[in-house]
Amino acid sequence: MTRVLFFEPQIAGNTGNAIRMAAGSGAELHLVNPRFDFEDAKLRRAGLDYHDLAVVTVHDSFEAALAALLPARIFAFTARTTRLYTDVAYEPSDVLLFGPEPTGLPDEILQHEAITDALRVPMLSGRRSMNLANCASVVTYEAWRQQGFAGQE
């Protein structure tokens, strides 16, 4: 199943929600240097009892994450591009990369040689951003839909 990669997430509750999404969809969740204590109450509360049902891996660096995830196509999500997430035919081994709240992915990550393409989740004009966990869910479920919701009951 698709792999979701959060680069330096800052809000524990968003990661907790992503853990629930990973448990519900079968996606793997990979985290690069979370900027919060992994035992944070908000993380546990948002993830409820899904922590044991999700595959979550924490990496010390972006390079360490790449070493574990490559070879794969890596799609970086940013508001600074025009190509939509729906323009891609997703494959089960794809990596969906999202940046920290509230800044998004830094240029050195967006321009990294391992990045296949930059995509965006559309929103109405004049809006700055969507919630990290919500964006990850929208794209993860689109990738899963394209794969025929493999493994669902």
Q: What is the pLDDT of residues 22-49, one digit of tens each?
A: 999 999 999 999 877 767 576 666 555 6
Find, among 75, 81, 53, 70, the residue nearest to 138 by Cα.
Answer: 75
What is the pLDDT, as a whole number, of residue 45?
A: 64
For domain 3-146, give its CATH number from 3.90.75.20, 3.40.50.2000, 3.40.1280.10, 3.40.640.10. 3.40.1280.10
CA 125, 144, 152: angle at the middle one, nearest 5? 135
Closest CA to 27 of 83, 97, 117: 97
pLDDT for 146 equals 97
More confident residue, 13 or 136: 136
Amino acid at 148: G
Q: Is the pLDDT of residue 53 over 80?
A: yes
CA nearest neighbour of 28 among 87, 94, 86: 94
Confidence of residue 131 (pLDDT cuts 50, 70, 90): very high
Average pLDDT of span 78-94 = 96
